[in-house]
Chains A and B, each alone.
Chain A
Amino acid sequence: MSEVPSDLRYTATHEWARLEEDGTVTVGITDHAQESLGDLVFVETPAVDSIVQAGEGCAVVESVKAASDIYAPVDGVIVDSNSRLTEEPELVNGDPYGEGWIMRIRPEDPDSLEELMDGDDYEHMITEEEEPD
């Protein structure tokens, strides 16, 4: 079973978001997402200072199976991106909630994080993802 930390917020598209003390939001992909994608071979991180809207594709992760967009969980401005991932995409597989973080966003509205799923809801969602009949 994949790990779903209870102190993070989640999107239906499998990003996690964490509100930091300085008011920025760190974003990555969930353990479940990295497990489904398989070994990552490439990560394209967003340019710092670019303006993003919630639901907008702003980074790309690529595994041997597929390339997937990473969507911004909230409106805001990119203040940092994890440049280590260019050389070491495997960090996302090894430590999706830590060293494998993808970007930091200064949210337009810090409360917007509240609209995302909590850990219980997300865990419920991924266990519900059963095959169709």
Chain B
Amino acid sequence: MGNDALIFEQGSPGRRATAQAPGHLPAPDGIPAAFLRQEAPGLPEVSELQVVRHYTRLSQRNFSIDTHFYPLGSCTMKYNPRASNSLALLPGFLDRHPWAPTRCGQGFMACLWELQDMLAEVTGLAGVSLTPMAGAQGEFAGVAMIRAYHRARNDDARTEILVPDAAHGTNPATAVMCGFRVREIPTDSDGDVDMQALREAVGPATAGIMLTNPSTLGVFERRISEMADVVHQAGGLLYYDGANLNAILGKVRPGDMGFDVIHINLHKTFSTPHGGGGPGAGAIGVGERLLPFMPLPVVGRDESGEYHWVTEADRPRSIGRLSAFMGNAGVLLRAYVYARMLGREGMSRVAEFATLNANYLMTRLRQEGFQVWFRNRRASHEFIISFRREAREHGITAMDVAKRLLDYGYHAPTAYFPLLVPECLLIEPTETETREELDGFVAAMVAIRQEGIDDIDRLKGAPYAMPVRRLDEVRAARELDLAWRPGDNRTTDTSTATRRAK
């Protein structure tokens, strides 16, 4: 059938997408000779229908939230209501030119202004800028503002950012990008930040601390107010990583916990399909102290109710611009529609149902004898189970379970993260799953464990029902094979992979 062949391997020399159309068009005039290609680009020579079938077949193999339970959760892809997308695609939005005068874009700007306002309200902060175009850029903006704040006060000794060891890897990376040194703070055995270690670490070199709350361990930092006091008294600022905002939306506000700056992954929490590499939107929110440093432009509204762009003329101490115009407008509009649909009440129901579903699933799995990490803690929107005991007693690893879940029609949860917990799965069902779906997942987990106890070799061979069986991850990483070149035929010639990796 050749279905698994790469698109490059399906063609035939000279074949074109539009076989019935008139012959080749003449080359356009006026291109300087120096810029003309000497040989044709190595593109696939396939018919239009071959292309359509190839990509449609691939898309049908997708494990997607539209077809399967996806316990990676809001971290990667929660369900995004169709309405957010349809309304963001209204022609008035789509056809608006970014350089159109503001008098022609008052509706668009009103949406952004209201979104800024709603995000400030739900995070408990003084101002919001929507321009960062990804979570990583939002983090960068946040820490760059912390740097700008200390610099504006001539407080140049603040060279360190504190990061708990449970943090997302992006946090230390961001701190380093912004020129800081990273100091790691350990976690205590209950999953909270080690307060004693924090007290010892803060000082005149502390620029700030980057925290995720609830943390990546799926539990809420119970001493957050105390932590805020310790860091503030030392002269540092608090950065909130919005990765887990879904858990507290409308219930607790980072500003009220003492945070000075936050980035919000609008593409995770606020309804844009995500997990395919973007586009994203990493809006930032700030307290009063950081307002002058916000990235621009933001939307302002004057007394007559007219909207305008706030620029460097108004905010000369801004850290600058992070996108050519106004960030990823499409993502921002989806977030706006989603927020307006939920309203204040709906916003807190997101957090309530996300938390309820996580705690229901955690309790059911514990009843079935799975080892819940931090078993005396309530889960936030996600929780961790560890297969350490099953691995020791039966050889069943978290990876085996993750692979076998695919055969049962469930996307695997996050595996082997957070790094602090051995043989772990991090499970986040999100607010939109039904109880029947959660019960089905529990039944699959129980069945898989029993399969492993009965016949470990069979479990090690999973998945069986997928187009691709268990990958040799070690070999894939050691013998990197990322590019196709004319003449390659990876389906038969495995030696090319090794050759190219060298």
- Known contacts A36-B422, A65-B416: does B474 contact A131 (CB below 8 Å)? no
Q: For the complex, would chain A's binding face be called helix, strand, loop or mixed by DSSP majority? A: loop
Are A131 and B477 within 8 A (Cβ)? Answer: no
Are B374 and A64 within 8 A (Cβ)? Answer: no
Per-position contact with B for A24-66: 1 when CB-CB < 8 Å, else 0?
0000000000001001011000000000000000000010111
- Known contacts A36-B422, A65-B416, A66-B416: does B474 contact A132 (CB below 8 Å)? no
A41, A66, A90, A132 pick with most chain B CB within 10 angstroms = A132
Are A41 and B478 within 8 A (Cβ)? Answer: yes
| Chain A residues positioned under 8 Å from B376 (CB to CB) | 133
Bound-state CA distance A6–B198 (Å) is 35
Does A76 count as interface, using CB distance less than 8 angstroms?
no
What's the least CB distance linking A41 to chain B, in Å? Answer: 4
A-B contact pairs, 21 of them (CB 8 A): A36-B422, A39-B474, A41-B474, A41-B477, A41-B478, A42-B477, A42-B478, A64-B473, A64-B474, A64-B477, A65-B416, A65-B419, A66-B416, A66-B419, A131-B373, A131-B388, A132-B189, A132-B190, A132-B373, A133-B189, A133-B376
B189, B386, B478 pick with most chain A CB within 10 angstroms = B478
Does B371 count as interface, using CB distance less than 8 angstroms?
yes
Count of chain A residues near B, Cβ 8 A: 13
Those 9 A-B pairs whose CB atoms lie nearest each other, nearest first? A41-B477, A132-B189, A39-B474, A64-B473, A65-B416, A41-B478, A66-B419, A64-B474, A41-B474
Are A133 and B474 within 8 A (Cβ)? Answer: no
Question: How big is chain B's contact interface, by range?
Answer: 10 to 19
| Chain A residues positioned under 8 Å from B474 (CB to CB) | 39, 41, 64
Residue of B nearest to A39 (CB): B474
Does B375 count as interface, using CB distance less than 8 angstroms?
yes
Does A89 count as interface, using CB distance less than 8 angstroms?
yes
Bound-state CA distance A36–B190 (Å) is 22
Name the contact of A132 in the complex, choosing from B374, B416, B473 (C-beta under 8 A). B374
Bound-state CA distance A64–B190 (Å) is 27
Bound-state CA distance A62–B422 (Å) is 16
Residue of A nearest to B502 (CB): A87
Per-position contact with A for B371-395: 1 when CB-CB < 8 Å, else 0?
1011110000000001010000000
B191, B473, B474 pick with most chain A CB within 10 angstroms = B474
Residue of B nearest to A93 (CB): B474
Bound-state CA distance A64–B399 (Å) is 11
What's the least CB distance linking B371 to chain A, in Å? Answer: 7
Bound-state CA distance A128–B275 (Å) is 39
Bound-state CA distance A132–B257 (Å) is 27
Per-position contact with A for B461-490: 1 when CB-CB < 8 Å, else 0?
000000000000110011000000000000
Are B478 and A133 within 8 A (Cβ)? Answer: no
| Chain B residues positioned under 8 Å from A131 (CB to CB) | 371, 373, 386, 388
Bound-state CA distance A102–B422 (Å) is 24
| Chain B residues positioned under 8 Å from A36 (CB to CB) | 422
Are A133 and B473 within 8 A (Cβ)? Answer: no
Are B478 and A89 within 8 A (Cβ)? Answer: yes
Are B375 and A133 within 8 A (Cβ)? Answer: yes
What's the least CB distance linking A131 to chain B, in Å? Answer: 7
Residue of B nearest to A41 (CB): B477
| Chain B residues positioned under 8 Å from A42 (CB to CB) | 477-478
Residue of A nearest to B478 (CB): A41
| Chain A residues positioned under 8 Å from B191 (CB to CB) | 132
Residue of A nearest to B388 (CB): A131
What's the least CB distance linking A1 to chain B, in Å? Answer: 11
Bound-state CA distance A39–B375 (Å) is 30
| 4 additional contacts (CB under 8 A) given A64-B473, A66-B416, A132-B191 | A42-B477, A64-B474, A131-B386, A132-B373
